[in-house]
Structures are given as C-alpha cells and as structure tokens.
Amino acid sequence: MKTVTLSTLRACKQAGDPFSCLTAYDATFARVASEAGIEVLLVGDSLGMVLQGHPSTLPVTLDEIRYHTRCVARSKGTSLLMADLPFMSNATTERLLTDAGELMRAGAEIIKVEGEAWMAEGIRELTRRGVPVCAHLGLTPQTVYQLGGYKVQGRDAQQAQRILEDARTLVEAGASMVLLECVPASLGREVSEALEVPVIGIGAGPDTDGQILVMHDVLGISQGRTPRFVKDFMAEADTIAAAFRRYHEDVKARRFPAQEHCF
C-alpha cells in the first residue's frame, strides 16, 4: 500500500471511494491499524477520556498530545497522521502557531482544530506556514459545557446553514479537510457535496468522504453510554486486527455507518 497523503484523500473524494480513519495513541495499536488498511490515524484529545479517565477532553495538555503523537508516528506505517490541538491552543494566533509547530515536529502530518468561522484567521496563518489543517465542526467536544452536553448539532435549518457556511469559510481560509461530528445525515451529505476538500464524519451519516471512530469504541471497551453512531466491531471478530480490518472494509463498502447509526 502506498503512503497516504492529502492528495490520496482528495483522489478518494473525487472517485467516490470512502476512506477510514481511527484514533490511535501508541505505537502498537498504530501499527495494527495501519496494517489493517486504515488510511488516517488521529491522535485525538479523546485520550483524556479513554486513557486518562476524565469526563471530557478539556484536561488534556499539549505535552500529552505531543507524547502520544511521537509514539504513533514511530509505527504509523503508510497511514496519514493527524493530531488534535488541545483545549485553548486556539486562544491566540501566536499560541496556535506555536502549538501546531510542536505537534508537526512530533510527527503529525495534519493538525485538527475545533472552532467555527472565527478560526479562519488562524487557519490562514497556519496554511501560510505549511501546516495542513482539518477543521472540526458540528459537535465540538472542547465546548461541551457551552453546548450543554454531547448533543446533536444542526438539527434546525438555521443551525445547519451556519455549519455549512462555517465549513465554506474555513476551507476558503485554507483548511485541507473538514471533520463533522454528530450532525444529521442530510447535513453531512450537503456539506460533503458543497466542499472540494474531503469531509470526515463521525455520527454524520454515510455520505461523507471518510468515517472516523474512537478506537476503544470500535473494540467495544468504552465505558458509559454508547453513542448512537458507534458500532462494536470486536463483536464480529476474533482479534483486534480483524476488528480493525472489518471496520475499514465496512467503511470502504459503505456498510458502515448504517441507518441505525445516523441522526
């Protein structure tokens, strides 16, 4: 398998060939996921919940993301490596640039940042300096307390239109990808069709260009309430490697997400 790049993902979008993404936090799971065919690995601030036991992603620090990025980078194989900028890394453009630089030096190949249209200036400055950006819209976990919980976004027409307009604004500013979380499937399709860049969905329906899940959810070992968009692929597999392969194959064949995983 050839090394996955942003050009690879753009070609997938143009061909209508969905791609798979999965979180990874260490060298061993990164290797297994890459060997299973997963195109994009994300060192997500979700590690605050699934590794550290916090109730949200907010306590995660840049040093922690950087550490796990270095671990994953050593064994990512041909997968593209994306890393999350943690809470408040977008407080100022100066901090945004500094923190993104640290993660790129740690081995990240694209940086994911949460925020709406107001992030355009920061994304513009990052792309000017050669840092690829994935803009995270919809349910943004770093604003969970402001949102009043992990709730589906874009249900009403006005909110859906704002998410679409924000996506267009951030792509115009230079974002190379967009990640949509917890939005109606119809909005996932509309945003994907409206943008030239690849759109990754998590709880955003079957029509986005790529799909992403948290590794622990794929393996059926997450604690607490299981989100609607999650599927336990370990229930249909004998090994972790087989579960990852099944997830990848179901994304490629558009068997996942199915109707029961959508809003």
pLDDT at 1: 79
Domains and CATH numbers, the chain: 6-261 (3.20.20.60)
Residue 261 CB coordination number (10 Å): 18
**Does residue 231 register a pLDDT over 90?**
yes
pLDDT at 149: 86
Summarize pLDDT for 13-69 with one digit per residue, the tens. 999 999 999 999 999 999 999 999 999 999 999 999 999 999 999 999 999 999 999
pLDDT at 81: 99
**The two structure tokens encoding residue 186:** 């119809």
What is each CA distance from 257 to 39, 98, 143, 208, in whole angstroms?
A: 17, 36, 25, 10
pLDDT at 223: 84
Q: Whole-angstrom Cα distance, residue 242 to residue 247?
A: 9
190 belongs to the catalytic site: no
- Residue 43 CA, chain-centre distance (Å), reads 9
Compute the average pLDDT of residues 90-101.
97
Summarize pLDDT for 185-204 with one digit per residue, the tens. 999 999 999 999 999 999 99
> Residue holding tokens 């945004």?
96
**Does residue 225 register a pLDDT over 90?**
no
Exposed e or buried b per residue across 187-219, where buried means at least 16 C-beta atoms within 10 angstroms of its C-beta: bbbbbbeebebbbbbbbbbbbbbbbbbbbbbbb
Beta strands in 30-120 (DSSP E): 40-43, 80-84, 110-114
DSSP letter assigned to residue 142: G
Polymer length in residues for the chain: 263
Residue 253 — very low, low, confident or very high, per pLDDT cuts 50/70/90? very high
Compute the average pLDDT of residues 245-258.
98
Q: What is the mean pLDDT of the chain?
A: 97
**The two structure tokens encoding residue 260:** 């029961």
**The two structure tokens encoding residue 263:** 């809003």
pLDDT at 162: 98
pLDDT at 52: 97
Residue 224 — very low, low, confident or very high, per pLDDT cuts 50/70/90? confident
Q: In percent, how much of the chain has pLDDT > 70? A: 100
**Does residue 6 register a pLDDT over 90?**
yes
Q: Which of 35, 181, 236, 249 is catalytic?
A: 181
